[in-house]
Structure 1
Amino acid sequence: MEKSAATTQPEAATQAPDEVEMQIRGLMMDPVTNMPIVVLKDVASDVVLPIWVGIFEANAIAVELEKSAPPRPMTHDLLLNMARGLNATVRKVVVSELREDTFYAVIWMDQAGEMVALDSRPSDAIALALRWDCPIYVSRTVLESSKQSAASQTINEDDMKRWLENLNDDEMGRYKM
């Protein structure tokens, strides 16, 4: 974590007007780069957001999606246990920024009535959100920026959107990494 900031804004734990609630549509491997992709989907529309993640982070997400229990706690399980031990609760995670093709996230925790914002990689925030069963949001500006970024790349944005929206469960690999 690069830095953390504390705030006393109680509304930080609820959906802000500039945030879109997302759910995990699935995990898959990018056929070109062979890197894992977490695919987030807007709960209220067909908008999707692919986020390329590392193999270890994808595994941590897959383990929780499959509800399999590793023999020893993984790093994200340690974070969950540490937060619980400190009487803190993860309220939500937000993919908050997209800078130079890198996504940034914030984990919002309630600790003794004080909202604490922790900087995070989106993959770690998502893995922790799954363990806490808390909502995942994406900033509207991130969704807009990702559309512009995708449009400027060699992959046609419409083709990518159709491909992601039309994936079936077999193509998503049932979260196997």
Structure 2
Amino acid sequence: MSEADYSRVSPFWQIEFFYCNSYLQSHSLYAKISASESPMSEMVEVVIDSIRVHLMAPQRVVVLKQSSTERYLTIWVGPYEAEAITVALQEVEMIRPLTHDLIKNIFNSFGARITRVEIVKLQDDIFYGNIVADAGGREIHIDSRPSDAIAIAVRAHVPIMVHRSVMDAAGMEPDREVPETNAPLARQEPPPPPSSDDANRLSVFKDFLDKLDIDSPDKDKPDSP
């Protein structure tokens, strides 16, 4: 904007202009690029195992399974995000692009290639994620909710990665079958009690998994839109 053009705007718009200019100088024009770029050696790949519905509340969760072992990570998602993931998994063709289709198309239009999505941190019971893209040979990490990142990963056909610290903190393994033994149960040494930190951290996930509707395989598949 030239000085002549700028002199014609109202004081209100001058204030808005100064505010926006200050904001753009302190923020990246590539949206919110995350500073937490984790090395790939600290990441594990997961796949979408299922999308389930909580019995006690109208909430959905995405169940992610670690590719290399029987370990699962559950993430709460909103109904819209759950529907967006389901539509992409079932390859339902929509008449008009949904929000996550639009985001993928924007990446493609600007020549940026989505390479993977990540779940990098768990803090105060909130998961944090990134969308990782290659833009002209430069890798960018864009801050994202994991639910949105997963919905985009399904559309872009890219891996979903989880930081090992997140998987260690929130991942759960199914109960292993206890081998039969003839020894009296009274003689067995009781297992050491879990620490208070471990109990507090995992209680919310154990309580949630106990209430999941997992009896019927047919209920694992949400209705098509």
Q: d(CA) in 2 for partners of 1:155 and 1:58?
A: 21
Which stretch shows the higher mean deviation, 22-31 or 146-155?
146-155
Q: d(CA) in 1 for partners of 2:107 and 2:31?
A: 18
Aligned to 2:206, what secondary structure does the other structure show?
coil
1:171 and 2:219 correspond = yes
Of 148, 151, 155, the match for 2:206: 155
TM-score (norm 2): 0.66
Unmatched tracts of structure 2, length 5 or more: 1-29, 172-197
Identify the structure with the greater strand proportion. 1
Q: Which aligned segments of 4 or more residues in structure 1 are displaced greater than 4 angstroms?
A: 147-150
Unmatched tracts of structure 1, length 5 or more: none
User: Which of these two proteins has the greater Rg computed from alpha carbons?
Assistant: 2
Of 34, 44, 48, the match for 1:24: 48
Contact 1:150–1:156 under 8 Å retained in 2:
no
Aligned to 2:96, what secondary structure does the other structure show?
coil
Equivalent in the alignment of 1:78: 102
Instruction: String of CA shifts for 1:87-116, please: whole Å, max 9, x gaps.
Output: 111101111111111111011000100000
Cα distance change on mapping 1:114 and 1:99 into 2, 3 Å: same
- How far did 1:34 drift? 2.1
Give the aligned length.
167
Of 7, 16, 32, the match for 1:3: 32
Aligned to 2:219, what secondary structure does the other structure show?
coil
1:135 and 2:159 correspond = yes
- How far did 1:127 drift? 0.5
- How far did 1:167 drift? 6.5
TM-score (norm 1): 0.83
Q: Identity of counterpart residues, as a percentage?
A: 32
Aligned to 1:115, what secondary structure does the other structure show?
strand
Aligned to 1:152, what secondary structure does the other structure show?
helix
